[in-house]
Amino acid sequence: MYQDPGALSYLIQLLIAGFLATVFWCKWVRQKIIQFFRRKKNQPPDDEQ
């Protein structure tokens, strides 16, 4: 039974997609930052090289 979706339905989906993409991007950035600091912590200090 096909129902007219309405413009609001499209707007909500775009907002949800944008929100989820933002959350995903923030998680990705956070993961990269954690990986960077872990690598730096595991690197030996300069005077031991």
Binding site for another protein (CB under 8 A): 1-3, 5-17, 19-21, 24
Structure tokens given for 46: 């300069």
Separation between Cα atoms, residue 30 and residue 19, nearest integer Å: 16
Number of helical H runs and strand E runs in the chain: 1, 0
What minimum distance in Å lies between the beta carbon of 17 and another protein? 3
What minimum distance in Å lies between the beta carbon of 23 and another protein? 9
Structure tokens given for 26: 């923030």
Nearer to another protein among residue 24 and residue 36 (C-beta): 24
What minimum distance in Å lies between the beta carbon of 4 and another protein? 9
